[in-house]
Amino acid sequence: MSDFRQQFLKFALEQEVLKFGEFITKAGRPSPYFFNAGLFNDGNGILQLSRFYADAIIASGVEFDMLFGPAYKGIILAAATSMALAEKGVNVPIAYNRKEAKDHGEGGMLVGAPVQGRVLIIDDVISAGTSVRESVKLIEAEGATPAGVVIALDRMEKGTGETSAVQEVEQQYGLPVVSIANLHDLLAMLADDETLQTYLVAVQAYRDKYGINCFYICS
């Protein structure tokens, strides 16, 4: 597991963004862990999170010209990530969308830099893929090209069918989806940390029941 992935998961635990126990997912599944990126809700938390996003982007090698933050969570994530990238010498423009068009001032649905070139979408997770679909539509309407999607955690589990929401986005749009960490990394952390090993069997059982078919070969 890459150092930044391990560091991210441990930081998420410290911030109580990642928790272990008994939870119910949006799909109604009993889950032994819970992740809510919205709980990165103070200055230091968002700062550190943005640096993990920047690490994941650089490590992925994805080529892009600017960042795009889908309303609402994606706005602050993209803004903070742009600053973290700038710290690493990668200074790129950023834009985001409104939920409703503005009919005064600059008007329209988009705010920030002109949407052009290869656009990297920054979001927290991909659940149903709705924000990605909306973002792709907005980006293409400006004559730009979606370059990929970056999220915090890929749970690597099936949706209503045999594929995950992440896989559906990759297949439907031909876009790479980069995650700071995924279920592989989470299991590796549990196996390596004696204080967390008590949760390993439950997470493995959840993986075996709901994990996507490629789990054992996907990176």
102 is catalytic: yes
pTM: 0.91
**Annotated active-site residue in 88, 102, 137, 209:** 102
Residues 6 or more apart in contact with residue 183 via CB below 8 angstroms: 154, 155, 156, 157, 203, 207, 211, 215
As a whole number of angstroms, the distance between CA 183 and CA 186 comes to 5
**Annotated active-site residue in 104, 137, 158, 209:** 104
pLDDT of 38 > 50? The answer is: yes
> Is residue 217 one of the residues assigned to a domain?
no
> Is residue 215 one of the residues assigned to a domain?
no
List the end-to-end C-alpha distance of the chain, in Å, as a whole number.
11
- 33 upstream amide cis, omega within 30 of 0: no
> Is residue 70 one of the residues assigned to a domain?
yes
Residue 65's region, left for phi above 0, alpha for psi from -120 to 50, else beta, is alpha
Confidence of residue 219 (pLDDT cuts 50, 70, 90): very low
At 214 the pLDDT is 53
> Is residue 218 one of the residues assigned to a domain?
no
42: containing domain: 3-210
At 12 the pLDDT is 97
As a whole number of angstroms, the distance between CA 202 and CA 164 comes to 20
How many folded domains does the chain comprise? 1
As a whole number of angstroms, the distance between CA 4 and CA 183 comes to 15
Mean local confidence (pLDDT), 117-129: 91
Domain CATH number, residue 195: 3.40.50.2020
For 180-218, what is each residue's pLDDT tens digit? 999 999 999 999 999 999 999 999 999 999 988 654 434
> Is residue 40 one of the residues assigned to a domain?
yes
For 68-118, what is each residue's pLDDT tens digit? 999 989 999 999 999 999 999 999 999 999 876 655 555 578 999 999 999
Give the burial class of 181: count Cβ atoms within 10 A of its Cβ; 0-12 exposed, 13-18 middle, 19 or more buried.
Answer: buried
> Is residue 219 one of the residues assigned to a domain?
no
Q: Is the Cα dihedral 35, 37, 43, 47 positive or negative?
A: positive
- Is 197 strand, coil or helix? helix
